[in-house]
Structure 1
Amino acid sequence: MAWLYGSAEAAALSEQAYNGMVRYVRDVLDHARDRRGRLPSQRKAGTLPRWPASAVLAPGATAAMADTLPCGNLPPAVVLDMDETAVLNLGYEYDDAQTARGFDQKRWERWEKAGATKVAAVPGAVAAFRALRAMGVTMVINTNRSAANADQTAQALKNAGLGDFRHGETLFLKGDVDGKSGKDGRRVAIAQKYCVLALAGDQLGDFADLFNPPGPAPAIGRRMLTAVGPIEARWGNGWFVLPNPVYGTGLGTGWDETFPADKRWTDAP
């Protein structure tokens, strides 16, 4: 917690991710403009140049066959997770650090309802949201916060300086679209409205549900998936990861997985 919420190194990594995303999206927009400066969403369907494929994987995609959805002439958007991607939950984590309790869903729901004034923007987020909106890009939040707390969630985002969001339009919550906690269904629904140029998150499930198959988290398998050719090429090229060593599926490795037997060294003075 001290590292993520208090260190300059964590802030720099977050700024780096957001700077990279803004630069990437700006390049995509520049390459998609015609000689009159119009984007595909401002021109007749089928004209050149076109959008690249969406950053959203197509239904049924795998790490080895990571096909993405077409964009057509849809308006551009960026889709981001909320917690520890767009906002830092300082109030909740303060309480967590003080009490050292395990995760409690009811406690988290109380936080969603009452913590809207106790959050801060992730370093780099406010400037990136402002810059991307100035380019005509819609910012969409896809979070597993509860739909029952949509108003409070929108208020937390606004309090963090990230602007206005509307449930079902630019704010998608757990259970929306298909009733699931996995985000693929929501991503596909968003991609039917927008050309999603980039995704951002702090957990691999913010990019594709294929990283989180049913059952116990296969830590080593997940790590290997990130380096499969079609997936490896997406990091920093449409997919942008924010640091979060505090909670989540990324903390699933044990001793043997973290330190392979053939790589261990013991000091023998």
Structure 2
Amino acid sequence: MLRAALPAVLLLLAGCATQTRPVADVAPPAPQTPPKAMQWLYGSGEGAAISRQAYNALAAYTATVAADRKAGRPVRSAILAPGATLDAPRFVECAGGQPLAAMFDVDETVLLNLGFEYDDAKGGVRPWDEDRWARWEQAGADKVLPVPGAVEALATLRAQGLTILFNSNRNTANGAFTKAAIEGAGLGPAVAGDTLYLKGDVAPGSGKDPRRLKASEHYCIVALGGDQLGDFSDQFGPLMKDIPGRRAWVGQGAIARLWGAGWFVLPNPLYGTGTVGSYDDVFPADKRWTDQGGK
């Protein structure tokens, strides 16, 4: 009896072995709540209020610019001219006949990528994956919402006589999907090569300056909106690894006076060049405190 039963026992054990995954291969459970940065940006009143504050300020600024143009007074472009630097900024000259325009980044500036970030939150935030993002661009056009205040502000700017331009690092090959996302959220129209500029449209790579300059051939761009410093000038790029330096640069000289007066920043604590830095980068040595009371 024992010898007859042994093969069955071994078969049962073998079956258990094939059904049991090593602990290291078991996917971790989904977090019970989204990361705090997502809670804040997508769920909080405070996040929505800051976005509306930026868009209200932008619309007030462009109203003044539009009035100046109507009165025949000169207006200033928000686009740094070729050869200009952050410490000696010069701006593209606006021809008198050029229509006024405002240019916006897309992701987390006019569109909130709720579907993509939901997938990130449920799966545990993963390293950046270009292929995954491309799949999102193609499938997520109806899984976005406009940034609070964006629809109203862009309508106001159009009523002021401005053209709305979009400058995004989304893929050119997925331009039809990006157009659908923008227009489906009530932010359009978005016309490829005219009011919609995507990565690779003008020059290789993800730099946005060539697209800004190309659009400036046709429009006097008086306002920029974005959630990353690169949405205003590619010259911020080399500063991104110098955390104290980049904070100093945005408050220096003429650049400091552009925030809220041509350059408008939307909040994004989720990703990008602003979400890096070690303890040494973020906390000055003379401003650190350790609670000794509980020791």
Output the TM-score relative to the length of structure 2.
0.84
Deviation string for 1:230-267 (max 9, x for gaps)?
Answer: 10000000000000000000012110111111111222
Percent sequence identity over aligned pairs: 52
* Residue equivalent to 2:285: 261
User: 1:195 and 2:232 equivalent?
Assistant: no
Equivalent residues in 2 for 1:168-183, closer than 5 Å:
168-183=193-208
Equivalent of 1:251, from 261, 275, 295? 275
User: 1:59 and 2:82 equivalent?
Assistant: yes
Q: How many positions carry a matched residue from both structures?
A: 254
* Residue equivalent to 1:98: 122
User: 1:163 and 2:188 equivalent?
Assistant: yes
Q: Distance in 2 between matches of 1:258 and 1:154?
A: 38
Q: Distance in 1 between matches of 2:158 and 2:70?
A: 17
Q: How far off is 1:14 after superposition?
A: 0.2
One-letter code aligned to 2:63: R
Equivalent residues in 2 for 1:16-95, closer than 5 Å:
16-34=53-71, 48-50=72-74, 52-73=75-96, 74-95=98-119
Deviation string for 1:20-42 (max 9, x for gaps)?
Answer: 000000011112223xxxxxxxx
Deviation string for 1:154-180 (max 9, x for gaps)?
Answer: 000011111221110000000111122
Q: Distance in 2 between matches of 1:247 and 1:195?
A: 30
Q: How far off is 1:219 after superposition?
A: 2.0
One-letter code aligned to 1:228: Q
Q: What's the C-alpha RMSD, in Å, of the aligned pairs?
A: 1.2
Q: Distance in 2 between matches of 1:60 and 1:213?
A: 16
Deviation string for 1:17-72 (max 9, x for gaps)?
Answer: 000000000011112223xxxxxxxxxxxxx422x221000112111101110101
Q: How far off is 1:145 after superposition?
A: 0.1
Q: Distance in 1 between matches of 2:93 and 2:211?
A: 16
Equivalent of 2:251, from 205, 227, 234? 227
Q: Distance in 2 between matches of 1:218 and 1:83?
A: 24
5+ unaligned residues in a row in structure 1: which ranges? 35-47
Deviation string for 1:100-125 (max 9, x for gaps)?
Answer: 12221100000001100000000000
* Residue equivalent to 1:41: none
User: Residue 143 of structure 1: SS of its match in structure 2?
Assistant: strand
Deviation string for 1:88-142 (max 9, x for gaps)?
Answer: 0000000000111222110000000110000000000000111111111100000
Q: Distance in 1 between matches of 2:147 and 2:94?
A: 29
Q: Distance in 2 between matches of 1:221 and 1:104?
A: 29
Q: Distance in 1 between matches of 2:186 and 2:223?
A: 21
5+ unaligned residues in a row in structure 2: which ranges? 1-37
